[in-house]
Structure 1
């Protein structure tokens, strides 16, 4: 069986724009805690072990609780997410799984300004892109250290 290529070695030029999107996201209107919750949830949906490992560790490094991270797969029933977080998670799931309904749009726009909604969309589409890249050219999950790519 042929070994899969290392996208970080062979695809540096192709990945450069994605790192630019990541730099934008890090300075965006979406705070780091919410960003990591969204990135973990989207990575759960997509089954991306490396990205789950990365964003779980990043979230823990900035003080996110294990309870809230463990509960993300059932966030609709868990009482420990704010209404703003729930709106963001609904937005993230809709963008990842299907499309954004009018109900989801109304919910998100009630909790996020226009710029925040744009930035949240970039967060969601960004992690979906990284998930797809990692699923095609997997890195070993478990090796990530917080701040490794900052």
Structure 2
């Protein structure tokens, strides 16, 4: 599958505009591992091969347990996730599947029990950013590299 276009080259200013949001998220106070778990789960749901490849490698570099990373797709049944992570993943799925879920109050109640309002806002930005990046990656047919150093 050939890449259709490179958004960083054809729309460089727009692509660069994502940078400040990435920087904000990194400094938001949310745990780096949590952010990358959310990035990976969004990418799994959306089927973005490039982002799935990128974010599981990021989690490995951070020292995350490979069994936990592999079990992310089955987090509902897996024993590897904290209650905070489960709340974040439930919120992730509700927002990523917004056309089907419409983000009901019950989903908000789950995340509200484990996160402050600011953290919920920041987590929502994490989810939104990765959904946007997945759409860029998928539409442009961005593929993961066959070999990584």
TM-score, scaled to structure 1 = 0.90
Gaps of 5+ in 1: none
Structure 1 partner of 2:89: 89
Q: Secondary structure at the match of 1:85?
A: helix
Measured after TM superposition, the shift of residue 102 of structure 1 is: 1.1
C-alpha distance in 2, partners of 1:100/1:14? 28
Structure 1 partner of 2:142: 139
Measured after TM superposition, the shift of residue 143 of structure 1 is: 5.5
Structure 2 partner of 1:28: 28
Structure 2 partner of 1:111: 114
C-alpha distance in 2, partners of 1:5/1:49? 16
C-alpha distance in 1, partners of 2:120/2:147? 29
Measured after TM superposition, the shift of residue 145 of structure 1 is: 5.9
Measured after TM superposition, the shift of residue 120 of structure 1 is: 0.3
C-alpha distance in 2, partners of 1:63/1:44? 20
C-alpha distance in 2, partners of 1:63/1:74? 20
Q: Secondary structure at the match of 2:55?
A: helix
Gaps of 5+ in 2: none
Which aligned pairs between 1:65-104 and structure 2 lie closer than 5 A?
A: 65-98=65-98, 99-104=102-107
- Residues 6-44 of structure 1 deviation map (CA, whole Å, 9 limit, x = unaligned): 112121111122111111111112111001111111100
TM-score, scaled to structure 2 = 0.91
- CA 1:15–1:3 in 2, change beyond 3 Å: closer, same or farther? closer
Structure 2 partner of 1:51: 51
Conserved? CA contact 1:54–1:144, under 8 Å: no
The yes-or-no answer on 1:42 pairing with 2:42 is: yes
RMSD (Å) for aligned C-alpha atoms: 1.8
